[in-house]
Amino acid sequence: MITMTLTALLPPLRPPPCANEELQHGQCIPYNNAQLGVLMIGIFWLSIGNGGIKPCCVPFAVDQFDLTTEEGRKENKSFYNLYYTTQTVVLVITQTAVVYIQNDISWALGLGIPTLCSIVAIVLFFIGTRIFVYIKPEGSVFTGVAQVFVAANRKRRLHLPVDGVDGRFYDDSPLRRRLLRAREPHLTTHYSCLNKAALVIGDEVNSDGSCVNPWRLCTIQQVEDVKCLLNILPIFITSILSFLAMNQQGTFTVSQALKMDLRFGSLFKIPAGSISVITLIVISAWLPFYDRVLVPALEKLTKLEGGITVLQRIGIGNLFAIVTMLVSGLIEMKRRSSALSHGGADGVSPMSVMWLIPQLILIGFMETFSIVGLIEFYNKEFPENMRSVGNSLIYLTFSLSSYASSWIIAVVEDVTGRDGTSWLTDDINTSKVDKFYFLIAGISSLNFVFFMFCSRRYQYK
């Protein structure tokens, strides 16, 4: 952020100012390679920093709670709602106040504010280092996963013991280094072919309790960790498709708003690019209410910790995604009809931009249930030594969903454009975005059916 701020603050690091007349005549002096290089370095370091912070901040925070106590588990469950609420409030500030400062006052000041906040955050982090709970890393988690598959493959022709007399499974727990009988409930029966990776054959264990070759013999914990990953994989796949609805709001909502009446009252005009702030406000208001009011009421009703299970919360979010697309399609039908029949020469419909509020509210509810639910799900269900990997799946889901959305848009443009009547064109009034919304609703519905199938078969850790 310091580098980004310097590019806006120091004249040698940016192109000279360009007046409107120069811009219209194409006389502006462009940036040079050095200026572009400094900017790209700043963006690169910003990406590296975010990549280190975002996947690790939630798992690190969860480590601070004592999950062996009821109070610790309750505070941990509230943390996920508080985390996403705080993140959303910050987004509201950045998309309103900070954007206003950058556009109307100074880019240097607009970039300097988040830079200063980052410095303060670093100072506060180091102040708290003496009271933080640290869990030391124990090697590469991916190596352990690979070892399970390799060891299970090498022993694929062996038969699993029927009871604890016919064979032994290897456990290298720091609390108890001993061989466990198969009848003890530490090794689950699903994905039983992987259990062979922990089956002790011959002299595979040293006298000190360590295994001779970790690529031939794995611990029970390693095997169970891999099973956790395989259980989570279908839920991860469904989350990619469930985020398609959220991507469409970011893709087409601003284009819709630009072709609608942006006036709010007689004096104020809503910026089309700021219309998505409504979603952030909904999230900021709903999550505290959900955590402090709705969850306690649901807990009394269902006798479940949190009121509902994590997968039920994600499923509700998936339903909101479907409803959002259906409502968005109906509103777009009305907006497009109004623009074509009553719009002016610029194609702007007399229909108020406030008609977009229902779909923005619905997508806010979708995020509070799906995204927060997934954050909690990954951090609870991933193996303890892989929580940072689990948290990074949220951002991987965003990325893959964005790619999937782009691919679907490209396919729709290609298929519907063959007869010259493409659903998606540069002019949203001549497009048929409503049909595209209904298509996404159909895909989301099929995805919800698959999610229900996977969630019913899912075994919690």
Cβ neighbour number for residue 181 with a 10 Å cutoff:
15
Beta strand 168-172 with 268-269 is unpaired
Q: What is the DSSP string of 28-83?
A: PPPP-HHHHHHHHHHHHHHHHHHHHHHHHHHHHHHTTS-TTSHHHHHHHHHHHHHH
**Rounded CA separation 313/370 (Å):** 7
What confidence category does residue 240 fall into, taking pLDDT thresholds of 50, 70 and 90? very high
Asked if pLDDT for residue 237 goes beyond 90, the answer is yes
| Domain limits, the chain | 1-135, 141-218, 229-460
Place of tokens 């619905």: 362
Amino acid identity, position 50: N
Q: What is the pTM of this model?
A: 0.80
Confidence of residue 449 (pLDDT cuts 50, 70, 90): very high
Q: How confident is the model at residue 179 (pLDDT cuts 50, 70, 90)?
A: very low
Q: Which residue would you say has higher pLDDT here, 406 or 61? A: 406
Q: Closest by alpha carbon to 93, among 114, 116, 124?
A: 114
Q: Percent of the chain at pLDDT above 90?
A: 22
What's the CATH class of domain 229-460? mainly alpha
* Cβ proximity of 244 and 443 under 8 Å: yes
CA angle 294, 373, 244 (to 5 degrees): 120
How many Å apart are CA 75 and CA 334, to the nearest integer? 46
The string of DSSP letters for 82-138 reads HHHHHHHHHHHHIIIIIHHHHHHT-HHHHHHHHHHHHHHHHHHHHHGGGT-------
What is the arithmetic mean of pLDDT over 271-299? 87
Backbone angles phi, psi at 263, to 5 degrees: -75, 140
**Res 25 pLDDT > 70:** no
Q: How far apart are CA 311 and CA 234, in angstroms?
A: 12
The pLDDT value given to residue 87? 83
- pLDDT of residue 114 exceeding 90, the answer is no
**Percent of all residues in the chain with a pLDDT value above 70, rounded to a whole number:** 92
Taking the C-alpha atoms of residue 259 and residue 425, their distance in angstroms, rounded to an integer, is 14
Cβ-based neighbour number of residue 367 at 10 Å: 24
